[in-house]
Amino acid sequence: MPKEDKISLEAEVTEALPDSKFRVKLPNNQEIIAYVSGKMRKFFIRITPGDRVTVELSPYDMTKGRIVFRQQ
């Protein structure tokens, strides 16, 4: 499987954790740990609990994700 195959899902941030990680709830009611992508950190995009975000998951490890976009 190529490295580019990522699973993108809409999720809701439920809790802010230390070290800019977040607990997010997926549409299937599963909660995972997600971190902020480099571009979002570079441009100081703030994420708070309750925000709707787009999360990328690797097909190899479905317990961790990367937040790549914050919905308006």
pLDDT of 51 reads: 97
Domain boundaries, the chain: 7-70
- Number of neighbouring beta carbons within 10 Å of residue 58: 15
The fold of the 7-70 domain, in CATH, is OB fold (Dihydrolipoamide Acetyltransferase, E2P) (2.40.50)
pTM for the whole structure: 0.91
pLDDT of 5 reads: 87
One pLDDT digit (tens) per residue for the chain, 72 residues:
566 789 999 999 999 999 999 999 999 999 999 999 999 999 999 999 999 999 999 999 999 999 999 998
- Listed as own residue / partner, the contacts of 54-61 with beta carbons closer than 8 Å and 24 or more positions apart are 54/8, 54/9, 54/10, 54/11, 55/8, 55/9, 55/10, 55/11, 55/24, 55/26, 56/6, 56/7, 56/8, 57/6, 57/7, 57/8, 57/9, 57/32, 58/6, 58/7, 59/1, 59/5, 59/6, 59/7
